[in-house]
Structure 1
Amino acid sequence: MKEARLYLSAAELLDSGGAAENKVAGSNAILSGIAAADAICGLVLGERSSGDDHAQAISLLKRATHPSTKAATSLARLLTQKTPVQYGADAINASDAANLIKWARDIVQEAEARDR
């Protein structure tokens, strides 16, 4: 949980910056969402996804959360952007970075609700 919060804080610090800041903010948001999803799965199921199969991570999070939450949908959105944001050469704009931060925040809030 602590890692998820720290990644999210770092992403929010860089929000609305230039091209490099947007890319780093987006990357930190993705890492935040993954860490929060792992925390949820660990707390609820006693396990987390550790492979490269993103579909498995999403499926596991769906099992750990209520269908009405945004967590699994937000994780799917983040994971779709993981490779282009973290490994791609193209810049991302402020709007894209803001979306990544929003999706990460959805998962962190869900994790925090369970970590009380």
Structure 2
Amino acid sequence: MPRTTTVSLDRAGARARLKEAHLYLSAAELLDSGGAAENKVAGSNAIMAGIAAADAICGLVLGERSSGDDHSQAIGLIRKATHPSTKAANSLKRLLTQKTPVQYGADAISASEAADLIRWARDIVLEADEKDRF
């Protein structure tokens, strides 16, 4: 059974995670439209960007982030921290579904799949930027 837990994440920590999210996203976008290896690395960086941005959102709004093995807990927290009309929770769910095959699998991913991962990460980063403005 997955262990679920949260840890405190203050505003400074959340802003640090947001900066990491931007760096991961920038790295993903640099590799976008490359070959098989570039697509896989771009996708992996996009996933890391989304996770870091989700942590930032949760830290900025709730003062905590998920640190357990249960990805559904992270999705639940971001749902709690965002308005239902935003894309962040669904985008995080999509990224987390792809985390294991993209980051640990041997199969290549297409440029289209990498672009989807980048788009979903961008949704979460943009939401985190909005939360950071308040």
Match of 2:109 in 1: 92
1:78 and 1:34 map into 2 onto residues whose CA distance is 8
Count of residues paired in the alignment: 116
Task: State whether structure 2 residue 2 is matched by structure 1 residue 23.
Answer: no
Match of 2:9 in 1: none
> Which amino acid in structure 1 is aligned with residue 75 of structure 2?
I
| 1:58-111 Cα deviation digits (max 9, x unpaired) | 000000000000000000000000000000000000000000000000000000
| Gap regions ≥5 residues in structure 2 | 1-17
Query: After the TM superposition, which segments of 4 or more aligned residues of structure 1 sit over 4 Å from their partners?
Result: none
TM-score normalised according to structure 1 size: 0.99
From 76, 80, 83, the equivalent of 1:66 is: 83
Match of 2:11 in 1: none
| Gap regions ≥5 residues in structure 1 | none
> Which amino acid in structure 2 is aligned with residue 57 of structure 1?
A
> Which amino acid in structure 2 is aligned with residue 50 of structure 1?
S
Structure 1 residue 52 displacement after superposition: 1.1
Structure ID, larger Rg: 2
What's the C-alpha RMSD, in Å, of the aligned pairs?
A: 0.3
State the identity as a percent: 84
More strand by share: 2
From 48, 63, 66, the equivalent of 2:65 is: 48
TM-score normalised according to structure 2 size: 0.86
1:40 and 1:10 map into 2 onto residues whose CA distance is 21
